[in-house]
């Protein structure tokens, strides 16, 4: 029996009129001008839900052929409800979460032997390879997921499932889902309508999404029987990375049948939401989030001068927003994984000032980031000298552990994490570099003061600190002259 149609049932969390509520997919698109934004604590949900809405728009609306089409759409202030209604009514039956022949983004005849807990769909929940990040669920005590929650989890898994061992239906391993490793770039406008148009990057061929194709069956995915080119935003944004079947218990979902999905064929397609960098081997690769550092420290890697490329969403959205003077911000959601194990899930938010992509702003941004890294390397040398002052040179590994235990670098980068958004806001105006140079200097000095307090007051500590202070003054002097000396 068909049940829980995503076009009609509330399942997408949004902020509207100062409160958060769930709306259907249809309501999210038709009422997009009145909705402030998609509001979810999960960074991965935020990206996956936007990508689904964009995939629908790519197919339902007349093609956005370029900048002027997008500008016309923004100035119209709403989506064409007749076009949306006509399209979604054609595929209405393909959006049921539970359906005997075509459950949404699932495989209806997937073997139900050896089911898995539904928590496997979310990296934030403890299951299988997922470490306990924010949740202490055990596989022996899996809570019942409401249908809306299960629908969002399904969408997240199809976008973010990391590659690795599978061992089902003749398949031993599966490849990464489209966003398993890269960070996604989402430009957010003043309401959901603006956000969607800003990220609706013109596509020559957006591809055919899975709901327009005959429903996948088990025989289509067993042994990697089906391989599709990973191409076209509408197709890639709703890619069936894994075979999943939600097992309905009547009032929710506790388990899933699981297997391989469609095998992606790499064809050189660049996901519009992904930035790229030139790595040390001269190869172009997607930018990723890191456990060790905030994403802003990699901003320079995507600058064209460094051989990188901005995500298409960013370039498209900034040109549109600047033409109309719209307020916008940049959100970078993503996960960090090691092989198939997810280590972190987070979202970083940055302002996007006018002129962000101008040549002058790009140059200032690159210089500012180089300065921060240069001082960071100098502080690393200071920490090493302090460690040597206390422990000598007898055991390099012990020295490294002690050096890492000092708060110097952690505090320095934490200070700059909080200051970098202000630097971005000032990029297109006068005095940006002077502001940043002063913030970097202050961050270094504050971190050093905290390190002094941390280390202790015995004679050997004071001797090591004096040596560290001397090295620090020498390291900072070329940048700030006498002002670089520690107090």
Question: pLDDT digit string (tens) for 210-243?
Answer: 999 999 999 999 999 999 999 999 999 999 999 9
The more confidently predicted of residues 461 and 227 is 227
Strands 227-229 and 263-265: parallel
Lowest mean pLDDT among 81-90, 431-440, 470-479: 470-479
Confidence at 486, pLDDT banded by 50, 70, 90: very low
Lowest mean pLDDT among 79-83, 195-199, 325-329: 325-329
d(CA 390, CA 392) in angstroms, rounded, equals 6
Task: Tell me the mean pLDDT in the region 117-136.
Answer: 70
How confident is the model at residue 459, as a pLDDT?
Answer: 83
Q: Report whether pLDDT(279) > 90.
A: no
C-beta of residue 300 within 8 angstroms of C-beta of residue 362: no
Q: Report whether pLDDT(160) > 50.
A: yes
Q: Report whether pLDDT(463) > 80.
A: yes
d(CA 329, CA 198) in angstroms, rounded, equals 11
Angle made by CA atoms 263, 267, 272, in degrees to the nearest 5: 100
CA 172 to chain CA centroid, nearest Å: 28
The more confidently predicted of residues 359 and 264 is 264
How confident is the model at residue 424, as a pLDDT?
Answer: 92
Q: Report whether pLDDT(6) > 50.
A: yes
Q: What share of the chain is helix, strand, coil (3-state, %, to 5)?
A: 45, 20, 35
How confident is the model at residue 246, as a pLDDT?
Answer: 98
Strands 164-168 and 227-229: unpaired
Confidence at 482, pLDDT banded by 50, 70, 90: low
Lowest mean pLDDT among 81-85, 254-258, 381-385: 381-385
Backbone angles phi, psi at 297, to 5 degrees: -65, -15
Number of H helices, E strands in the chain: 14, 17
How confident is the model at residue 237, as a pLDDT?
Answer: 98
How confident is the model at residue 135, as a pLDDT?
Answer: 58
Percentage, residues of the chain above pLDDT 90: 73
d(CA 3, CA 252) in angstroms, rounded, equals 12
d(CA 208, CA 206) in angstroms, rounded, equals 7
Q: Which of 236-245, 289-298, 451-460 has the highest mean pLDDT?
A: 236-245
d(CA 42, CA 39) in angstroms, rounded, equals 9
d(CA 98, CA 104) in angstroms, rounded, equals 7
Residue the block writes with tokens 């509408």: 234
184: nearest Cα among 288, 278, 53, 45: 288
Element (H, E) at 382: helix 359-391
Mean confidence (pLDDT) of the chain? 91
Write the pLDDT tens digit of every residue in 182-201.
999 999 999 999 999 999 99
Element (H, E) at 63: none
CA 159 to chain CA centroid, nearest Å: 11
C-beta of residue 177 within 8 angstroms of C-beta of residue 161: yes
How confident is the model at residue 300, as a pLDDT?
Answer: 84
How confident is the model at residue 133, as a pLDDT?
Answer: 53
Lowest mean pLDDT among 2-16, 221-235, 270-284: 270-284
Task: Tell me the mean pLDDT in the region 259-273.
Answer: 95
How confident is the model at residue 140, as a pLDDT?
Answer: 64
Element (H, E) at 73: helix 67-76
How confident is the model at residue 1, as a pLDDT?
Answer: 80
Residue the block writes with tokens 């934004």: 37
CB atoms within 10 A of CB 111: 16
d(CA 406, CA 387) in angstroms, rounded, equals 9
How confident is the model at residue 292, as a pLDDT?
Answer: 87
Confidence at 487, pLDDT banded by 50, 70, 90: very low
Task: Tell me the mean pLDDT in the region 136-158.
Answer: 88
How confident is the model at residue 355, as a pLDDT?
Answer: 83
How confident is the model at residue 485, as a pLDDT?
Answer: 47
178: nearest Cα among 149, 196, 156, 201: 156
């Amino acid at each position: 029996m068909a049940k829980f149609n995503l076009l009609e049932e509330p399942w997408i969390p949004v902020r509207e009129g100062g409160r958060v509520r769930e709306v259907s997919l249809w309501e999210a698109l038709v009422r997009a001008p009145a909705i402030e934004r998609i509001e979810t604590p999960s960074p991965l949900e935020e990206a996956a839900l936007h990508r689904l809405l964009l995939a629908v728009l790519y197919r339902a609306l007349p093609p956005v052929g370029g900048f002027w089409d997008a500008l016309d759409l923004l100035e119209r202030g709403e989506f064409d409800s007749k076009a949306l209604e006509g399209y979604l009514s054609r595929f209405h039956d393909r959006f049921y979460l539970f359906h005997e022949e075509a459950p949404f983004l699932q495989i209806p005849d997937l073997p139900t032997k050896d089911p898995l807990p539904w928590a496997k769909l979310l990296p934030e929940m403890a299951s299988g390879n997922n470490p306990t990040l924010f949740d202490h669920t055990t596989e022996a005590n899996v809570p019942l997921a409401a249908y809306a929650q299960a629908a969002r989890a399904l969408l997240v898994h199809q976008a973010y499932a990391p590659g690795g061992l599978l061992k089902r239906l003749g398949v031993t391993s599966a490849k990464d889902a489209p966003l398993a490793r890269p960070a996604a770039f989402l430009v957010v406008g003043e309401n959901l309508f603006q956000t969607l148009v800003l990220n609706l990057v013109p596509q020559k061929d957006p591809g055919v999404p899975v709901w327009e194709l005959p429903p996948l069956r088990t025989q289509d995915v067993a042994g990697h029987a089906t391989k599709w080119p990973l191409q076209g935003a509408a197709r890639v944004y709703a890619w069936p990375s894994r075979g999943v079947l939600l097992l309905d218990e009547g009032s929710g979902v506790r388990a899933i049948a699981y297997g391989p999905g469609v095998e992606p064929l790499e064809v050189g397609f660049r996901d519009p939401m992904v930035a790229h960098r030139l790595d040390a081997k001269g190869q172009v690769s997607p930018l990723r989030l890191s456990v060790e550092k905030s994403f802003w420290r990699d901003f320079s890697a995507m600058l064209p001068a460094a051989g990188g490329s901005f995500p298409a969403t960013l370039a498209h959205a900034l040109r549109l927003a600047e033409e109309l003077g719209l307020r916008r911000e940049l959100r970078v959601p993503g996960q960090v994984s090691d092989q198939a194990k997810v280590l972190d899930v987070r979202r970083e938010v940055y302002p996007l000032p006018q002129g962000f992509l101008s040549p002058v702003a790009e140059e200032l941004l690159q210089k500012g980031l180089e300065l921060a890294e240069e001082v960071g390397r100098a502080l690393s040398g200071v920490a090493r000298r302090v460690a040597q002052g206390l422990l000598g040179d007898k055991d390099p590994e012990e020295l490294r552990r002690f050096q890492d235990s000092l708060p110097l670098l952690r505090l320095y980068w934490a200070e700059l994490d909080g200051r970098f958004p202000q630097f971005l806001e000032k990029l297109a105006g006068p005095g940006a570099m002077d502001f940043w140079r002063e913030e970097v200097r202050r961050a270094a000095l504050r971190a050093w003061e905290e390190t002094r307090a941390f280390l202790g007051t015995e004679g050997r500590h004071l001797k090591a600190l004096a040596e560290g202070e001397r090295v620090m003054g020498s390291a900072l002097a070329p940048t700030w002259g006498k002002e670089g000396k520690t107090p």
